[in-house]
């Protein structure tokens, strides 16, 4: 695992840099998760094996630092990703992000410009309002969440069948999770949906079969966003069907240059 001190953030990102063919694929996890937990099996799948992959734990998560002064908004996370890309001198890269990480990937894509080759996102937050758990988290004050809210959310998630996510959440910094969840609920201007549809690079939206019907996908194919389905999986696709997720990512990365409206 490698370490990168994020400028002006007060802490370091930690990440796996898996060697292979360029361009590198940068993988970004969701709220309360960690790429070091979610993506090793996905990265090892034959569908993706052989290319360089960066599995990044965002600040506040996994093995990365948990600075109190960092904002942990979606844009803050995106800027930390771009700073790492700058430091590594990557001339071109592809991005994959899941859930909150999809929003981070979209925001980073807008910052990277011509360096971005392809964008693949798995059930990302595209509009203000957050998801089921981010809304529960943001409904508390940061003080309440730090005092016991995270433990309560982790217990609830475990009882609802999200055991791996609950364990990952319990190991995340409560202040980081709360600030990121609040950012998801607040949304962005322009929205992440608008940013996504404005990109000119090939973009793919991955949906778990058990998440269908998926209202957030409405209008996206007409804007040139390809849709890929992971069978036998819902939102937690990296644990429910890692091979299926790897295949869907590979499909997104195989698209030709440029987006063509459907």
196 lies in some domain: yes
Give dist(CA 116, CA 132) in Å, integer: 31
Give dist(CA 177, CA 109) in Å, integer: 22
Q: Number of folded domains in the chain? A: 1
Find the mean pLDDT for residues 42-55: 97
Cβ–Cβ < 8 Å for 84, 109: no
**What pLDDT was estimated at residue 259?**
64
Find the mean pLDDT for residues 228-249: 97
pLDDT digits 0-9 by tens, 7-46:
999 999 999 999 999 999 999 999 999 999 999 999 999 9
Give dist(CA 124, CA 30) in Å, integer: 9
135 lies in some domain: no
For residue 128, give the 3-state DSSP assignment: coil
CATH no. for residue 123? 3.40.50.1820
153 lies in some domain: no
**What pLDDT was estimated at residue 154?**
95
Find the mean pLDDT for residues 61-84: 98
**What pLDDT was estimated at residue 260?**
58
163 lies in some domain: no
CB atoms within 10 A of CB 153: 23
* pLDDT tier, 255 (very low <50, low <70, confident <90, very high otherwise): confident
Q: How far is CA 87 from CA 38, 105, 261, in A?
A: 24, 18, 34
**What pLDDT was estimated at residue 216?**
96
pLDDT score of 198 more than 70? yes
* pLDDT tier, 261 (very low <50, low <70, confident <90, very high otherwise): low
**What pLDDT was estimated at residue 256?**
75
pLDDT score of 262 more than 80? no
Range of the domain at 123: 2-130+189-253
Q: What H or E segment, with its residue span, contains residue 151? A: helix 150-159
DSSP 63: T
235 lies in some domain: yes
* pTM of this prediction exceeds 0.85: yes
* pLDDT tier, 258 (very low <50, low <70, confident <90, very high otherwise): low
195 lies in some domain: yes
Average pLDDT, the chain: 96
What string of DSSP letters covers 172-213?
S-HHHHHHHHHHHHH--SS-HHHHHHH--S-EEEEEEGGG-S
pLDDT digits 0-9 by tens, 127-145:
999 999 999 999 999 999 9
**What pLDDT was estimated at residue 235?**
95
261 lies in some domain: no
């Amino acid at each position: 695992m490698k370490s990168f001190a994020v400028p002006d953030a007060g802490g370091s990102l930690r990440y796996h840099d898996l060697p292979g063919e360029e361009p590198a694929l940068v993988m970004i996890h969701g709220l309360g998760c960690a790429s070091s937990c979610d993506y090793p099996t996905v990265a090892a799948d034959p569908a993706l094996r052989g290319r360089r992959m960066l599995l990044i734990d965002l600040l506040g998560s996994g093995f990365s630092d948990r600075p109190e002064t960092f904002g942990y908004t979606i844009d803050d996370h995106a800027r930390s990703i771009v700073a790492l890309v700058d430091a590594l001198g990557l001339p071109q890269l592809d991005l994959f992000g899941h859930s909150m990480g999809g929003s981070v990937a979209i925001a980073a894509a807008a910052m990277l410009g011509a360096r971005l080759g392809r964008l693949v996102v798995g059930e990302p937050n595209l509009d203000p309002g957050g998801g089921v758990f981010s809304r529960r988290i943001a409904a508390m004050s940061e003080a309440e969440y730090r005092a016991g809210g995270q433990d309560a959310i982790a217990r609830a998630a475990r009882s609802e069948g999200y055991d791996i996510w609950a364990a990952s959440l319990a190991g995340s910094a409560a202040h980081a999770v709360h600030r990121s969840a609040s950012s998801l609920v607040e949304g962005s201007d322009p929205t992440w949906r608008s940013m996504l549809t404005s990109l000119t690079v090939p973009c793919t939206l991955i949906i778990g079969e058990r998440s269908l019907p998926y209202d957030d996908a409405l209008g996206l194919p007409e804007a040139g966003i390809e849709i890929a389905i992971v069978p036998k999986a819902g939102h937690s696709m990296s644990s429910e069907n890692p091979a299926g997720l790897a295949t869907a990512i590979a499909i997104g990365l195989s698209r030709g240059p440029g987006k063509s409206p459907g």
